[in-house]
Structure formats: structure tokens, C-alpha cells
Amino acid sequence: MLITGGAGFIGSNFVYYTLKNRPEYQITVIDKLTYAGNPDNLTPVLDKINFVTGDICDQELMDKLVADNDVVVHFAAESHNDNSLQNPRPFLDSNIIGTYTILEAIRKHGKRLHHISTDEVYGDLELDDPNRFTENTPYNPSSPYSSTKAGSDLLVRAWVRSFGVQATISNCSNNYGPYQHVEKFIPRQITEILEGRKPRLYGAGENVRDWIHTEDHSSAVLAILEKGRLGETYLIGADGEKNNKEVIELILKDMNKDPSDYEHVTDRPGHDMRYAIDSTKLRNELGWMPKFTNFEEGLKSTIDWYTNNEAWWKPQKEATEAKYQKAGH
């Protein structure tokens, strides 16, 4: 199995999950080790995997790696919305050109691909909308990040239809858990509190995200790889809808702080209001069920992880906060 972006947050958690649950798999990880790909994420298992530092846009390298493996799980992506608003170009390179390069290698060598994507390709829902995203929801991306992920999904579908490539796609809601970069919402709030500062909330904090623990994402991806129908798309979600205000107040409460002890900052441009996933197809077809159905329990275990792993997140923290400060966030 070749895992692209395996030193990133969601990719590294999938590496751990697969090693634990499928010890017979031989795993190769390729990661460019940009700021979001951290070799320390994989330190405990480096002796059990083959690690390659490289770029998924490198045609020669991807051709060789894909030829040497049976299945490719494609996590590698530029994924932070704020960064895509500052500089969209790396998102086009990784998410569009990188996916194209992988697809061509898959086609040439007749291998199997699972493409990891996001619910953000569907745009957003109104707060009072009773609907949730399904596999048939029209694409309506709103940021450079989500539009390039939508483009990568469409490339996969085109290669399936035009060339008979063996591939599946999953679109997942917001992940949380260990090894997530401190620029992201939940770890940023936790680490701000750990460093003695008030956490910050965009706007009124009414924006709703559908949270899923990264271990549940990993178990769903493995289920799709082993039981999913080729050419199909599956939505991964754990019914974890919470608005940002609720999440920040839960974090404060669970860290023994006053739940109202946070600051409001100017909302980001084009901030999607609500994401919500209907994962009925995945559950009914493949029998998948999430393990972390209680969001607060999963959140507490995540707070514990960051509290106990300061050496992991501390090196990222200063540069991240400097960048946010420059942007006024």
C-alpha cells in the first residue's frame, strides 16, 4: 500500500490505524514534508514502513512508487482554507497536478486508487436547512482550497469513466484528533489555553462543522478500500454537528476554564456557514459505524494528547501564531 501525504495529520493517523489492524500490509509513505507534513508524526513506526520524501507531482517518482505497490491511498493535499486565500498556487499544484500525476501512474500500471476528499466541495448549507450533504449533492466550492479538491474529485471520476481506472472516492467532514497541525481550529484553541492565552473565535461562531474523530475516518477508508464498489463515492461522517462557539466553550470547560473566556476576531472572507454529512450509503452498504459517537469524549482525549505532547506541537506554534497575528486573527 502506498499512502500519499502519510506524514500529515489524517494520513499519519491512517498509517497507525492500518499497521494496527492490518499488520500484514507493507506500507510505503510518500510525503513532501511541507510545513503540514511532519516526520515526527511517524517516528514511532518508521522501522515498520518505507518512508520516501518526495513530491506527488514528480512523474518519474510516482510512476516507480505506484508500479511497486498494489493500492494507492491518496491523502496528500494542501488543505488549509486560510492559506488558500493568501496564496492559491500551491493548492493547484498539489491538488490538481498531483492528483493527475497519480492517476496517470495508476492507469499505466493497472493499480487500485482510493482518493481522499472533503465535504467542502459541496459548498455550505444554511444554518436552518434540514438537509445534509449526500453523494448526489451538486458541487459548489467556495474557496481556492475546496475548488481544487472538487477539481481533483472530477479528475478521478473522469479517469474511471474514460480509462476504466479502478478507483473510489470519499468525502469526509472535519477531522480532529492527535497529530493535527496547530493552525487548525481545535488544536489552535487547546494550545492557546495551554500557553496561557485566550482562544479566538471567528465572527459570532455560528458556523457549523460536522466533526469526526480521525480514527473513525481511518476505519471508514479501510472499509471502502476492502468492500467499496469501484467507481463509487462514499461520504464519511459521524453525526458530529457543532457550531464553533459550542466547540470553543466545550474546550474551555474541559480544560477547567470559564467557558466564556475567549475573544472574537473578524470573520474570514467567504466563511462557509454549515457542513453536514449524510453517511447512510457508507453505513448501509459497507456496515461501517463510527466508534467516537460522543464528541465531548473524543474532544477530551484530544485535549489530553496535546497536553501530554507539548514537544510535538511547540515547534510549530510560534510561527503559526505570528502568521495569524499578521492576518489580524
Which pLDDT does position 197 carry in this prediction? 94
What secondary structure does DSSP assign to 47-85, as a single string?
Answer: TTSEEEE--TT-HHHHHHHHHT-SEEEE------HHHHH
Residue ranges for the chain with pLDDT beneath 70: 80-81, 328-329
pLDDT given at position 80: 66
Map residue 115 onto helix, strand or coil: strand
The DSSP bridge partners found for residue 114 are 73, 168
Number of Cβ within 10 Å of residue 171's Cβ equals 25
Entry field: residues in the chain: 329
* Contact between 285 and 229 (Cβ < 8 Å): yes
279: amino acid identity, one letter: S
Amino acid at 216: D
Categorise residue 290: left if φ over 0, alpha if ψ from -120 to 50, beta otherwise. beta
- d(CA 273, CA 231) in angstroms, rounded, equals 30
pLDDT of residue 320: 85
- Among residues 55, 120, 124, 241, which one is catalytic? 120
Catalytic residue among 31, 55, 78, 119: 119
- Catalytic status, residue 239: no
pLDDT at 329: 62
Residue 155 C-alpha cell reads as 479528475
> Domains along the chain?
2-180+211-240+274-294 (3.40.50.720)
Dump pLDDT digits (tens) for 113-148. Answer: 999 999 999 999 999 999 999 999 999 998 899 999
Single out the catalytic residue among 16, 122, 145, 262.
145
pLDDT at residue 23, rounded to an integer: 97
pLDDT at 34: 84
Which pLDDT belongs to residue 324? 76
Q: What number of other Cβ atoms are within 10 A of residue 324's Cβ?
A: 15
CA angle 227, 75, 281 (to 5 degrees): 35
- Cα–Cα distance between 19 and 17 in angstroms, integer? 6
Tally Cβ neighbours within 10 Å of residue 254.
17
Predicted confidence at residue 328, as pLDDT, reads 67
pLDDT of residue 152: 98
Write down the pLDDT at residue 212: 97
- Rg for the chain, CA atoms, rounded: 19
Active site residue 120: yes
- Has this prediction a pTM greater than 0.75? yes
119 given a catalytic annotation? yes
Which residues make Cβ contacts (< 8 Å) with residue 254, sequence separation at least 6?
296, 299, 300, 303
**Alpha helices, DSSP H only, in 198-309?**
214-227, 244-254, 280-286, 295-308
